[in-house]
Amino acid sequence: MRLFLVFAILWGLFYNVAYGKGSLDIDMKLKALNKPALKTIKSEDGDIIDCIDIYKQHAFDHPALRNHKIQMKPSIEFGTKKTTIPNNGSSELITSQIWSKSGNCPKGTIPVRRVSREDISRASSPSHFGRKTPHRYSFLDKALQHKGNFNITAEKITHARPKLRSEAVLIALGFNFIGAQSDINVWNPPRVQASDYSSAQIWLLGGLSDTFESIEAGWAVNPRVFGDSRTRLFTYWTKDGYTKTGCVNLLCAGFVQTTTKLALGAAIEPVSTTSQKQHYITVSMFLDPNSGNWWLTCAKNVIGYWPGTLFTYLKHSATAVQWGGEVHSPNVGKKPHTRTSMGSGQWASYLWAQACYHTNIRIKDYSMQIKYPTYLSEYADEYDCYSTKLHRKTYMSEPHFYFGGPGQNSRCP
């Protein structure tokens, strides 16, 4: 009997350590992420959108933003310099999300997708929920040394195969990028595995290779974070190469949202289908020179900004811009390779209405001119798994950067 009691006590201690603390951590995370709602909207796709007080949003939990004064709109606009989408109007801009069919958030609030206990439980730990794994962009150091004038493709190829992530991108290097934009073709990539994600996005990068700073936006399919395979609007930021800072959307303190129209992490529809009408979102990120904040616009809406106080290098400008896609998986660079696809799931060479693309690719620098980048390099970490193609239909037509692929296939076993 005494032995049984000892065993029971030990088992109770083990259970509390192994499960009780984990449950408590999840409770604390849920409380931090799900702020009190002034209004709740139940979306037809199953999401719950909470309208929370704009002055009590997640950003202000950040120590550097405790006394931050919200900037309600940028002091300047990114502007636009776009050509007409070709193919006889067979492209359509997406300007809203599914949840907005069920209601609107009132002025003075922001729409926030509610996080569930199951969402956090899928992460390796509550502290890792919605966060990328550490990464290195070796070309950033060389860009600083050579002032952006070197062969980035050759530079990247000399390094080892990627770990955990595979990119297929178009890259511009410089010293004073203060904005970037593109029209991003929206798809729902097939076969995204439960532990993976697949994105189409823009990156603005600055700083050193190991501790780079980044702001990112586009669309992603991320079952681990969202629990499904829907295509969703997303943002990301880091100031230390994804090591300890930053997160997706509003899953940590940092990004300041100002719009009532769009919810980060909410689903985007309709998506493109092969040989049918193509759907896209226009994404712009630009530095407000008067406040030092990096503003994000999408689907004709100013969404919000990353405060300049979050960063060191990006306070002034970005060193590199990337347009393209990314697959994150524990089975990247391995055999068998992940089956998670990128973009539409088709090769870049399939082109219009089959492969995913960025077009109306633009940058802004301290000349304050919006322009097509002078020097661009294409690069794919695993060209037999995910490919790239910068294509111009005619000499005078707007270039399209096609990217993506199926993941595992006969060339990428």
pTM of the model: 0.91
Consecutive 10-residue averages of pLDDT for the chain (413 residues): 46 42 84 96 97 96 92 84 57 93 97 96 92 92 65 58 88 92 98 97 96 97 97 98 96 97 97 95 96 94 97 95 97 95 98 97 92 93 97 85 98 96
DSSP string for 283-314: EEEEE-TTT--EEEEETTEEEEEE-GGG-SST
The confidence score (pLDDT) of residue 8 equals: 42
Question: What dihedral do alpha carbons 192, 137, 179, 271 form, nearest 10°?
Answer: -10
Assess if residue 16 is contained within a domain: no
Residue 182, H or E segment: strand 165-185
* Rounded distance between C-alpha atoms, residue 353 and residue 275, angstroms: 5
Assess if residue 43 is contained within a domain: yes
Cβ pair 238, 245 in contact under 8 A: yes
Cβ pair 385, 407 in contact under 8 A: yes
Assess if residue 176 is contained within a domain: yes
Tell me the backbone φ, ψ of residue 216, rounded to 5 degrees: -140, 150
The confidence score (pLDDT) of residue 147 equals: 58
Q: How many other C-beta atoms are found inside a 10 Å radius of the C-beta of residue 153?
A: 13
Assess if residue 143 is contained within a domain: yes
* Rounded distance between C-alpha atoms, residue 363 and residue 279, angstroms: 22
Encode pLDDT of 255-285 as tens digits: 999 999 999 999 999 999 999 999 999 999 9
Residue in the block written with tokens 């669309």: 219
* Rounded distance between C-alpha atoms, residue 378 and residue 394, angstroms: 20
Which long-range contacts (C-beta less than 8 Å, at least 24 apart) are formed by 28-31?
28/126, 29/115, 29/120, 29/126, 29/129, 30/115, 30/117, 30/120
- Domain count along the chain: 1
Assess if residue 280 is contained within a domain: yes
What does the DSSP 8-state code read for residue 315?
T
Strand 278-287 and strand 91-93: the pairing is parallel
The confidence score (pLDDT) of residue 10 equals: 45
The confidence score (pLDDT) of residue 315 equals: 94
Give residue 161's identity as a one-letter amino acid code. Answer: R
* Rounded distance between C-alpha atoms, residue 183 and residue 280, angstroms: 6
Encode pLDDT of 223-241 as tens digits: 999 999 999 999 999 999 9
The confidence score (pLDDT) of residue 1 equals: 52
Q: Which domain range does residue 384 map to? A: 34-79+93-404
Give the residue among 380, 401, 389 at the shortest CA–CA distance from 333. 380
Positive or negative, the CA dihedral 165, 357, 272, 50 is positive
Report the alpha-carbon angle 252-188-381, nearest 5.
75
Assess if residue 3 is contained within a domain: no
Assess if residue 190 is contained within a domain: yes
The confidence score (pLDDT) of residue 80 equals: 62
DSSP H helical segments within 147-260, as ranges?
A: 152-157, 223-226
Cβ pair 22, 236 in contact under 8 A: no
The confidence score (pLDDT) of residue 52 equals: 98
Provide the edge-to-edge strand list for the sheet that holds 48-53.
Answer: 37-42, 48-53, 109-113
